[in-house]
């Protein structure tokens, strides 16, 4: 969930103003960048993937770890130089905006530290972007980071059919934002605010629009996606499981996924959805962070290692082909060698198909930063290396286990080599099909011939 992605939007038109959007962090930012691009297109801005062509550059930022935030300031330094060069050459002015979680957390600081920045906009206020831009164009520098009382999704433009099509057959749909869990290492409850679930009716409309545009696979997104709750058509409270059952009934949706979940919110209905819904893909990102009860407590995860293992067993009972992914942190304050061994033991017991792991990064304002016994950087790094070796071995073993298997693959795009196509396996891994047997959006059966580092090769079955 947390890999850095850069997703400049494509297809510039001549003689229009152009916006370059750079996305950092999680898939929720990818979704937000797409919606901002749609909103800006109504203001006459067309997306470009070349920063040099842009009239407006928007950095949609991530604040989760120190390194993620630092990237923003170095990018702003580069933009400052570009702006100066343009001014010298008498070229059109460049406007620069910072959006996302760094904007939310450090708005005033950004304006102070980076004179190149014209606007700062937080993740709950993207629908105000057109108004903010109008103020920028009249010469102001604008900070818009107050939590919006109105629903941003109600005010953002509708899903744009043409742009959705251009983005491909697999789409994100944010169903929930924010987090009330307050894990002691995490900035999300402060940057994204408290949990807000989008109403069911809004989600159904958006899902149908995506399907009408040709989307076949929808990934439901939320910082804490399985905390989604709403009112069902029956007037009863619904959870994510109910939502998945409901969405699975929409013709045209071939595949459903959801990310990221918290173990405490994996209820029976959601587990049953994994048993009952063939459209729900057998892949689950369920972070545990640590295998030590002491550290889990200090992290305020509010479950024990054993609870997590029991939960995984329960889900695997109903969906034996489930592949698991997780997030891990090494060197949380107070973590001893023995605590770390507990993490290793948990990983060995559970077995992951993929994982993201990080050294603990103390984030100002979070309770973890004020805890005693911070772990030296070199110890964090050593533990991370050992953990990653184990996770990588598990990932390789998982991918190798797929060789020789026949599976359904959703065709997503042409491959790099002529005659090749790239699709997606049920377990999220890209599959390069060495033939051109289908159209984009088709689901075809293939036989896996080879596993690479991050992709599989296959022949039509
Ligand atoms: N330090 C290190 N990793 C962190 N994560 C979140 N906050 C921190 C932090 N302060 C990791 C967690 C989370 C993922 C998105 O990022 O593993 O699940
Ligand atoms: Fe952060 Fe914990 Fe909320 Fe996940 S559940 S967003 S790690 S506070």
Exposure of 228 in the CB half-sphere (CA atoms within 13 A): 29
* 229 three-state secondary structure: strand
Q: Which residues pair with 430 in a beta bridge?
A: 424
* Ligand closest in space to the Cα of 69: 1
Confirm or reject: Cβ of 23 under 6 Å from ligand 2: no
Tokens 């229009």 belong to 16
Confirm or reject: Cβ of 363 under 6 Å from ligand 1: yes
Structure confidence at residue 154 (pLDDT): 85
Distance (angstroms) between ligand 2 centre and the Cα of 188 equals 6
Structure confidence at residue 15 (pLDDT): 53
Confirm or reject: Cβ of 192 under 6 Å from ligand 2: no
Atom 6, ligand 1: residue with shortest CA distance: 186
Q: How many helices (H) does the chain have, and how many strands (E)? A: 14, 21
Segments in the chain below pLDDT 50: 1-14
CB 180 within 8 A of CB 300: no
Query: What is the value of pTM for the model shown?
Result: 0.94
Q: Which residues pair with 328 in a beta bridge?
A: 289, 357
Which fold does the domain 3-144 belong to in CATH?
Rossmann fold (3.40.50)
Confirm or reject: Cβ of 178 under 6 Å from ligand 2: no
CB 383 within 8 A of CB 290: no
Distance (angstroms) between ligand 1 centre and the Cα of 270 equals 24
Confirm or reject: Cβ of 265 under 6 Å from ligand 1: no
Beta-strand runs (E) in 331-391? 354-359
Which residue from 147, 93, 140, 148 is spatially nearest to 119, judged by alpha carbons? 140
Q: Which atom of ligand 2 is nearest to the CA of 186?
A: 1
DSSP 429: -
CATH superfamily for domain 406-460: Nucleic acid-binding proteins (2.40.50.140)
Atom 2, ligand 2: residue with shortest CA distance: 183
Distance (angstroms) between ligand 1 centre and the Cα of 93 equals 37
Structure confidence at residue 224 (pLDDT): 96
Q: Which CATH class is domain 158-401?
A: alpha beta
List the structure tokens of 275. Answer: 């048993």
Domain boundaries, the chain: 3-144, 158-401, 406-460
Structure confidence at residue 68 (pLDDT): 83
* Ligand closest in space to the Cα of 192: 2
Q: Which atom of ligand 1 is nearest to the CA of 366?
A: 10
Distance (angstroms) between ligand 1 centre and the Cα of 170 equals 26
Number of CB atoms found within 10 A of residue 88's CB: 8
Structure confidence at residue 105 (pLDDT): 93
Which residue from 30, 38, 71, 78 is spatially nearest to 57, judged by alpha carbons? 78
Structure confidence at residue 152 (pLDDT): 83
Atom 1, ligand 2: residue with shortest CA distance: 186
Spatial separation of the C-alpha atoms in residues 250 and 204, rounded to whole Å: 9
């Amino acid at each position: 969930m947390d890999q850095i992605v850069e997703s400049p939007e494509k297809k510039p038109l001549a003689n229009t103003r152009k916006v370059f959007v750079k996305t950092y962090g999680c898939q929720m930012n990818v979704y937000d960048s797409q919606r901002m691009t749609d909103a800006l297109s109504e203001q006459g801005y067309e997306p470009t993937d070349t920063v040099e062509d842009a009239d407006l550059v928007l950095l949609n930022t991530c604040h989760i770890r120190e390194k993620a935030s630092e990237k923003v300031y170095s990018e702003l330094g580069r933009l400052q130089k570009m702006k100066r060069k343009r001014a010298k050459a008498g070229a059109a002015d460049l406007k620069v905006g910072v959006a996302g979680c760094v904007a939310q957390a450090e708005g005033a600081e950004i304006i102070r530290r980076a004179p190149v920045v014209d606007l700062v906009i937080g993740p709950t206020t993207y629908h105000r972007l057109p108004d903010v831009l109008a103020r920028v164009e009249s010469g102001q520098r604008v900070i818009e980071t107050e939590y919006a009382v109105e629903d941003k999704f109600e005010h953002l433009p509708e899903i744009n059919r043409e742009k959705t099509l251009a983005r491909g057959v697999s789409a994100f749909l944010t169903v929930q934002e924010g987090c009330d869990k307050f894990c002691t290492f995490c900035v999300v409850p402060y940057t994204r605010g408290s949990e807000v679930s989008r109403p069911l009716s809004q989600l159904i409309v958006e899902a149908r629009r995506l399907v009408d545009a040709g989307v076949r696979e929808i990934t439901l997104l939320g910082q804490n996606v399985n905390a989604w709750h709403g009112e069902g058509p029956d007037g009863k409270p619904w959870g994510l499981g109910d939502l998945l059952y409901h969405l699975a009934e929409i013709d045209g949706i071939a595949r459903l996924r959801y990310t990221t979940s918290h173990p405490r919110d994996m209820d029976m209905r959601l587990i049953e959805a994994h048993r009952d819904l063939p459209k729900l893909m057998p892949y689950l990102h369920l972070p545990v962070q640590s295998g030590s009860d002491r550290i889990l407590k200090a992290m305020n995860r509010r479950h024990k290692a054993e609870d997590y293992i029991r939960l995984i067993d329960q889900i695997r009972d109903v969906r034996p082909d489930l592949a698991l992914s997780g997030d891990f942190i090494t060197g949380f304050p107070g973590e001893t060698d023995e605590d770390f061994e507990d993490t290793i033991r948990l990983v060995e017991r559970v077995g992951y198909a993929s994982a993201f792991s990080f050294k603990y990064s103390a984030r100002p304002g979070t309770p973890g930063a004020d805890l005693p016994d911070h772990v030296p950087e070199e110890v964090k790094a050593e533990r991370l290396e050992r953990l990653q070796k184990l996770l990588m071995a598990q990932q390789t073993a998982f991918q190798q286990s797929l060789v020789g298997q026949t599976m359904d693959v959703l065709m997503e795009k042409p491959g790099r080599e002529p005659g090749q196509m790239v699709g997606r396996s049920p377990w999220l891994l890209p599959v390069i099909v060495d033939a051109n047997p289908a159209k984009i959006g088709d689901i075809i059966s293939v036989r896996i011939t080879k596993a690479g580092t991050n992709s599989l090769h296959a022949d039509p079955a």
